[in-house]
Amino acid sequence: SALPDAAASAPFPADFIWGVATSAYQIEGAAHEGGRGPSIWDVFAATPGKVAGGDTGEHACDHYHRYREDVALMQSLGVDAYRFSIAWPRVQPDGAGAWNEEGWAFYGRLLDALDDAGIAAHATLYHWDLPQALEDKGGWRNRDTAARFADYAAEFVRRFGERVKTIATHNEPLCTAMIGHEEGRFAPGLKDRKAAYQVAHHLLLSHGLAMQAMRAAGARAALGIVLNQSPAYPAAPTEDARIAARLADAMCNRLFMDPLFRGAYPADLLAHLGADAPVVLPGDMALIGAPLDFLGINYYSRIWAGAPAGQPAPCALGVTDMGWEIYPQGLTEHLVRIARDYNPPPIYITENGAACVDVPEAGAVHDPQRIRFLASHIAALRSAMAQGADVRGYFAWSLLDNFEWDSGYAKRFGLVFVDYPTQQRTLKDSALWYHDWIVGQRRAASVRES
């Protein structure tokens, strides 16, 4: 119809933030340098059969040494903002007790480089790399880990709270809990549903305790959390498929949104879990439900629920190199639904992007599929905003090709191509496109103002 198309091509607000995102374990490398302790991902990746090709994050993009070059790349893209994560085991090797000054100093140098480049810093405290020393004591299954996390969060605020624009406690607690503890495809590699839901609760509790500790430490940055969300669509016009979609929505979206914004776990999910429902102590839900300054949403695809005999989604726009359906409309519909159901604080799209089969050719890298992916999702985001979603910024995943967890280096999400043996970086066509897109938005905004 004409309406969404017109909305999708309207200019973004002049103060809308355009950024790129990464995470520590996926890019830093230098796993044994600067006093860094081991994380659960070092241990998991070193376990045969866990990561494709036996890849590990030991060297990754060597960003620990090349951060200046990488900030210069961001500058050439013209981004306003950079979202990155702090490796907890780099700044507190045992996850408790002594701080590692050399680790904190690395993030200080990164923040200096971003300052010099005029790029705003958006920090995430936990992007999956738990200190192994804490895993040895039960990791996120142990309620005490939540208190350790709050100590670390408060220390980050004391050191850098004035130098970052936002602080997210967790990145995608759904993945930590379920892929890490129920499916076992991510560290620490457990396959135990009851443990996974207790972990989900402890992650939320750690978020609540960290929010309280960071506010007490006088945080000036906006504080929030980043959730991966996928709208769930019934695969057929049947009651069974509708029930499957509702349950998938409970497991993926409402599991975190309801405690954060409504003070309780979804009743239908608890009923479904039965004896696997998490143990919640008095006071937990009040901590978890304390107000957020922002909500980060990572969007990749939709869930196709209750398909008869595993029949795949239509995938009218195709799939990415991960096999994930390309479905930009899901971003519009999900954001409009979140705005209606939860009255959330300002939203950032903290990740959106695609793994593609890139074609390097004479100093260039052609990735037309990624350009189409980004352009169509940005348009979908604009329509959601026209329909009332309060979204303040968009971060493309990812600045660089990097360690794609259990896929290792085989899957490439970067706007910038990384040749791992030489660590040479090459701007892909999508990086040039994103630069031109940002410049075009700024130009349109300044024309409107004059």
| Residue 434 is labelled as binding a ligand | no
And the tokens for 134?
């804490």
Note if 172 is an active site residue.
Answer: yes
CA R_g for the chain: 21
Task: In angstroms, give the least distance from the CB of 317 to ligand GBH.
Answer: 13
Task: In angstroms, give the least distance from the CB of 15 to ligand GBH.
Answer: 26
Note if 351 is an active site residue.
Answer: yes
| Residue 127 is labelled as binding a ligand | yes
- Stated as kind and residue range, the H or E segment containing 364 is strand 364-366
Strand partners, 20: 82, 396
Q: Please identify which of the residues 135, 172, 325, 333 carries the catalytic annotation.
A: 172
Please tell me the distance from the alpha carbon of residue 341 to that of residue 258, in angstroms, as a whole number: 10
Please tell me the distance from the alpha carbon of residue 446 to that of residue 450, in angstroms, as a whole number: 6
- 419: helix, strand or coil: strand
Task: In angstroms, give the least distance from the CB of 298 to ligand GBH.
Answer: 6
Please tell me the distance from the alpha carbon of residue 157 to that of residue 221, in angstroms, as a whole number: 9
Q: How crowded is residue 227: how many other Cβ atoms within 10 Å of its Cβ?
A: 24
Task: In angstroms, give the least distance from the CB of 394 to ligand GBH.
Answer: 15
Cis peptide before 383 (omega within 30 of 0): no
Amino acid at 381: L
The footprint of ligand GBH (CB under 6 A) covers: 23, 26, 171-172, 175, 228, 230, 298, 300-303, 324, 351, 397, 404, 413
Task: In angstroms, give the least distance from the CB of 321 to ligand GBH.
Answer: 11
| Residue 171 is labelled as binding a ligand | yes
Kindly tell me which of 26 and 253 has the beta carbon lying closer to ligand GBH. 26
Kindly tell me which of 135 and 351 has the beta carbon lying closer to ligand GBH. 351
Kindly tell me which of 171 and 253 has the beta carbon lying closer to ligand GBH. 171
Task: In angstroms, give the least distance from the CB of 325 to ligand GBH.
Answer: 6
Classify residue 315 as exposed, middle or buried by CB count within 10 Å of its CB (0-12, 13-18, 19+): middle
Kindly tell me which of 161 and 184 has the beta carbon lying closer to ligand GBH. 184
**Residue number of the CB atom closest to ligand GBH:** 301
Amino acid at 235: A
Kindly tell me which of 253 and 441 has the beta carbon lying closer to ligand GBH. 253
Kindly tell me which of 209 and 399 has the beta carbon lying closer to ligand GBH. 399
| Residue 135 is labelled as binding a ligand | no
| Residue 300 is labelled as binding a ligand | yes
Are 131 and 175 in contact by the 8 Å Cβ rule? The answer is no
Please tell me the distance from the alpha carbon of residue 103 to that of residue 90, in angstroms, as a whole number: 5
- Stated as kind and residue range, the H or E segment containing 382 is helix 368-386
| Residue 18 is labelled as binding a ligand | no
| Residue 397 is labelled as binding a ligand | yes
Please name the residues in contact with 332: beta carbons below 8 A apart, sequence gap of 6 or more. 4, 380, 381, 383, 384, 387
Residue ranges at the known binding site? 26, 127, 171, 300, 397, 404-405
Catalytic residues: 172, 351
Residue ranges at the known binding site for substrate? 26, 127, 171, 300, 397, 404-405
